[in-house]
């Protein structure tokens, strides 16, 4: 960390700052110049709050040379991480296709969709059991029994399952879930992240609607700091002023995260766009930009389609999209 002091600064305050930093085990190298005085902070500065230092009267500006995340940082782990999800590798050249319905609704529904997405080429089954809904009056998911149905579909198809956790109190219900999803609204639910850090389960961490990529990596760091390094990141659209799509898929998240971190990153074009007709082009864009996988909503009853989200593909549309994905994967 480099601290640039104002040209004229109070030496008493500078002494206080030095003592405070040294009390945290950081040594300081001072460069006195004509235009400014520059402090080089040497040691582990990841716990130092740069905002606090920047707020001091004597400080002109502060610049981190090291990113505040360590375990998620590619600098200290140059190779791509590969996360093993019950036998399905994700990352490092292994492409994951997670598909399934928005909500688990019945044994027939989830087993039918599971069979369909497996036939089309999916290698993981998604399905919502605990559902975060904006309205308290909306269907909140089948909860524990939804997970039971997902596991039944896993038994029939062999596909490992991914589903969202909303509160650490429910953790027992996730004992046999293969990949635990932390949703966008809980990306900074730090107590939940800490608890998942004590697990060994693979975690799918979705980016918050207005989270920066650095914040996403810091949330991954919460999980990893606890000892669980099996983290897969997911870009699912950010909130902007544009209303033609539900969210804006931040396609640059892929190369940026791949540069900064060794963790796999996948894309969820269904939530990013909110409309099924845009899912295929945005899935292909994710492949082209280097994504390690996709998460796509597929519904069960194209004729009825009433209880499925507007962003869900029919099995036929999904099959078509996967075939295009495979063509693009072959040339990237």
220 DSSP assignment: H
Largest CA distance in the chain: 76
Task: Choose the stretch contacting a copy of itself; rule: CB under 8 A; options: 74-82, 85-93, 147-155, 164-172.
Answer: 164-172
φ and ψ of 248, to 5 deg:
-115, 115
Q: In the complex, what is the shortest distance from the CB of residue 304 to a copy of itself, in angstroms, rounded to a whole number?
A: 7
242 lies in the site for a copy of itself, by CB under 8 A: yes
Distance CA 123, CA 264 (A): 16
Q: Which of 11, 47, 93, 175 binds a copy of itself (CB under 8 A)?
A: 47
Which one among 52, 106, 119, 316 touches a copy of itself, defined by CB under 8 A?
Answer: 52
What residues from 181 to 240 belong to the interface with a copy of itself (CB under 8 A)? 185-186, 188-194, 208-210, 212-215, 218, 221-222, 225-226, 238-240
Q: Alpha carbon 330 to chain centroid distance?
A: 25
Nearer to a copy of itself, 120 or 287 (CB): 287
Q: Positive or negative CA dihedral for 288, 210, 129, 271?
A: negative
Closest distance to a copy of itself from the beta carbon of 258 (Å): 9
Binding to a copy of itself by residue 259, rule CB under 8 A? yes
What is the b/e burial string over 107-132, where b = at least 16 CB atoms within 10 angstroms of the residue's CB?
eebbbbbbbbbbebebbbbbbbbbbe
Residues 6+ apart with CB under 8 A from 200: 228, 230
Map the footprint of a copy of itself across residues 128-157, applying CB under 8 A: 132-139
For residue 192, what are its two tokens? 């939940």
Of residues 58 through 117, those in contact with a copy of itself by CB under 8 A are 60-61, 63, 65, 68-69
Distance between CA atoms of residues 135 and 260, nearest Å: 37
Angstrom distance (rounded) from CA 303 to CA 106 = 17
Q: Choose which of 26, 38, 82, 115 interacts with a copy of itself (CB under 8 A).
A: 38
**158/227 with CB nearer a copy of itself:** 227
Closest contact distance (angstroms) between CB of 175 and a copy of itself is: 19
> Please, what is the minimum distance in Å from the beta carbon of residue 10 to a copy of itself?
11
Residues shown for the chain: 332
Q: Which stretch binds a copy of itself (CB under 8 A): 55-63, 78-86, 87-95, 171-179?
A: 55-63
Q: What is the closest distance, in whole angstroms, from the C-beta atom of residue 65 to a copy of itself in the complex?
A: 6
56 binds a copy of itself (CB under 8 A): yes
Check the CA dihedral 157-162-165-169 and report its sign: positive
212: Cβ–Cβ under 8 A, 6 or more apart, which residues?
none
Q: How many residues sit close enough to a copy of itself to count as binding (CB under 8 A)?
A: 110
Neighbouring-strand partners of residue 233: 205, 265
**Could you tell me the smallest distance in angstroms from the CB atom of residue 242 to a copy of itself?**
6
**Which one among 22, 144, 168, 227 touches a copy of itself, defined by CB under 8 A?**
168
Three-state secondary structure call for residue 13: helix
- Residue 161 in the binding site for a copy of itself (CB under 8 A): no
């Amino acid at each position: 960390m480099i601290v640039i002091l104002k040209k004229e600064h109070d030496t008493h305050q500078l002494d206080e700052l030095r003592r405070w930093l040294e009390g945290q085990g950081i040594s300081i190298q001072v460069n006195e110049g004509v235009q400014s005085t520059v402090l080089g902070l040497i040691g582990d500065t990841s716990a130092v709050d740069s905002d606090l230092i920047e707020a001091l009267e004597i400080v002109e500006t502060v610049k981190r040379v090291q990113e505040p995340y360590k375990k998620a940082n590619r600098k200290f782990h140059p190779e791509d991480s590969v996360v093993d999800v019950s036998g399905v590798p994700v990352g490092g050249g292994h492409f994951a296709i997670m598909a399934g319905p928005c909500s688990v609704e019945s044994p027939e529904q989830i087993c039918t969709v599971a069979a369909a997405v497996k036939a089309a080429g999916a290698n993981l089954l998604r399905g919502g059991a605990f559902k975060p809904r904006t309205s308290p009056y909306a269907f909140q998911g089948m909860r524990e029994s939804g997970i039971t149905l997902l596991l039944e579909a896993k038994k029939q198809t062999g596909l490992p399952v991914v589903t969202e956790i909303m509160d650490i109190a429910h953790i027992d219900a996730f004992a046999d879930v293969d990949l635990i999803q932390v949703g966008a609204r809980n990306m900074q639910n730090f107590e939940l992240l800490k608890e998942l850090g004590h697990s060994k389960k693979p975690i799918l961490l979705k980016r918050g609607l207005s989270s920066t990529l650095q914040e996403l990596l810091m949330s991954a760091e919460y999980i990893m700091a606890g000892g669980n390094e099996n983290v897969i990141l997911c870009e699912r659209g950010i909130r902007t002023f544009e209303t033609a799509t539900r969210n804006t898929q931040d396609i640059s998240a892929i190369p940026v995260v791949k540069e900064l971190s060794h963790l796999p990153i996948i894309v969820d074009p269904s939530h990013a766009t909110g409309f099924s007709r845009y899912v295929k082009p945005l899935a292909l864009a994710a492949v082209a930009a280097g994504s390690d996988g996709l998460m796509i909503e597929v519904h069960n009853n194209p004729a009825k389609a009433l209880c499925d989200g507007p962003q869900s593909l029919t099995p036929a549309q999904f099959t078509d999209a996967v075939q295009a994905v495979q063509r693009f994967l072959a040339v990237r």
